[in-house]
Structure 1
């Protein structure tokens, strides 16, 4: 049986992977797919791909594009979630900041440099016409638990994270969400190490076929809203809202989208150059 390591964030977006693993769908095809949760998000997964700790990552589009340009020997083989990610802009519940303009020049908590929370802080700053050099400052907090500690203790002033994941913390009075900042592109893609692609193309195609069969009918799974609410400790109405605005994909991300992401990252000085579509993606 072929052992394959895959990584992703332990969030509701990835429930389809959990369901297919629970049903032993990969084992039925002689593939031992091992899921690894990455609480540190995109930056941690980029490192794991580089180190060979995982073969496949379900990862933020902007983060993996940046890291491949920076030398990560991987390719995007498919879009996973087609719709944008809705990032909430959060402050500590008792913070004096009431609106996003109040955050200009303050310190953003980020999981690590090159992570989604880091890159989206730039997008948020650009959306609000801030000076990207003077008005941005960062505190590395590693993960969501680190953000809770960092904002509560005043080490950082605000934090961008997926709004439905952080909603329980808002409901519990830990965070206050003062704005939303949608990513300007499809949020999650599936990236694979080049070495794995070269040696295991058929197994990779099988894995993608299995997950795509589940995501294509995901919203029709009986009581899927209740399953998500229970598993991820979310309010049922929040899950239903999230399901209504989320679309999965079974296709490779298109050239126009990849170029738009790169143009945005280049304009923000996050990547040093814009590269060919084929350097970032591979059609299987």
Structure 2
């Protein structure tokens, strides 16, 4: 049987996957890094370059609601919301969220989490049609940082703790944050990949997730791993761990989460209102995941 190709983004949330990969040594799966985040993973799924990915809930569900058929949800991963930082250039003229009305936001890809959450931000702020953000696709994290410093874009949205080292160094500034109104990470896989192989992968990953999520590991081992692998400051890792919770059962998808996410995405104009009525089978591969 061919090895699974697993897409991932260089974020500390994926630490249990990295620990699993260290033990697996490429025997059953190989990691394919996707610096462009969820949007890049969606493209790679469509092109057959990866079989499975752990990615942002909102972008995955939005893609499915908007007609993508190159993947379905096969599990859940993070139970807590994601804190998205609102990031601007070190010398930009933007200092508050109110300053951002009608400006151009940098995004990684069309349909990415960075675009979806910009729309959610505008919904939360009650911006009018004239005040809605425009979007400029910049691709990966580095070009996004460059774009706010050159003035090409006003801000971009990215995960808070991934961005914090660049704020600490003075490269960019935070001017706020916005939380997802849904559990922030799910697992998706190509429907053409082996369901039994995916199920086996999820069952093998689950103990690593459970161990990382345990109170005992959070005390020291988790902090040591994230600090060593990602180079974050220990105090930042400790603060992050207080805010994040992993799912204990991976091969499940909550129908309520899918429906609630669709409702918010429809209000934000990311998906059509009719998407709320789509059958759960559009979103979940029930050969792998149990709908709860």
Instruction: Answer whether TM exceeds 0.5 for this pair.
Output: yes
Match of residue 134, structure 2, among 129, 134, 137: 137
* Residue aligning to 1:276: 279
Change in 2 beyond 3 A, CA 1:80/1:132:
farther
* Residue aligning to 2:212: 218
TM-score, with length taken from structure 1: 0.93
> Contact 1:112–1:118 at 8 Å: present in 2 too?
yes
Alpha-carbon distance in structure 2 between the residues aligned to 1:133 and 1:45: 32
CA distances 1:128-147 after superposition (whole Å, capped 9, x unpaired): 11124543111111011011
- Classify the secondary structure of the residue corresponding to 1:257: helix
* Residue aligning to 1:266: 266
Note the C-alpha offset of 1:26: 7.0
Change in 2 beyond 3 A, CA 1:265/1:132:
farther
* Residue aligning to 2:63: 67
Match of residue 104, structure 1, among 97, 101, 104: 101
* Residue aligning to 1:9: 9
> Contact 2:119–2:269 at 8 Å: present in 1 too?
no
Alpha-carbon distance in structure 1 between the residues aligned to 2:92 and 2:186: 35
- Classify the secondary structure of the residue corresponding to 2:188: strand
Alpha-carbon distance in structure 2 between the residues aligned to 1:57 and 1:95: 35
Note the C-alpha offset of 1:150: 0.4
* Residue aligning to 2:34: 38
Note the C-alpha offset of 1:210: 1.4
> Contact 1:75–1:280 at 8 Å: present in 2 too?
yes
After TM superposition, the structure 1 stretch with the greater mean CA deviation from structure 2, 222-231 or 99-108, is: 222-231
Q: In the TM superposition, what are the counterparts of 1:87-236 in structure 2 within 5 Å?
A: 87-132=84-129, 134-196=131-193, 200-219=194-213, 220-221=216-217, 222-236=220-234
CA distances 1:217-239 after superposition (whole Å, capped 9, x unpaired): 10433522022012112111110
> Contact 1:87–1:182 at 8 Å: present in 2 too?
yes
Alpha-carbon distance in structure 2 between the residues aligned to 1:189 and 1:180: 21
The aligned length equals 277
Alpha-carbon distance in structure 2 between the residues aligned to 1:180 and 1:134: 19
Alpha-carbon distance in structure 2 between the residues aligned to 1:213 and 1:14: 14
CA distances 1:99-132 after superposition (whole Å, capped 9, x unpaired): 1111111111100110000000000111111124
Q: Structure 1: where are the runs of 5+ without partners?
A: none
Note the C-alpha offset of 1:202: 2.2
CA distances 1:152-196 after superposition (whole Å, capped 9, x unpaired): 111001110000000001101111111110011011100011111
- Classify the secondary structure of the residue corresponding to 1:97: coil
- Classify the secondary structure of the residue corresponding to 1:194: coil
- Classify the secondary structure of the residue corresponding to 2:231: coil
After TM superposition, the structure 1 stretch with the greater mean CA deviation from structure 2, 41-50 or 17-26, is: 17-26
Runs of 4 or more, structure 1, over 4 Å off, are none
Alpha-carbon distance in structure 1 between the residues aligned to 2:92 and 2:187: 37
- Classify the secondary structure of the residue corresponding to 1:165: helix
* Residue aligning to 1:54: 50
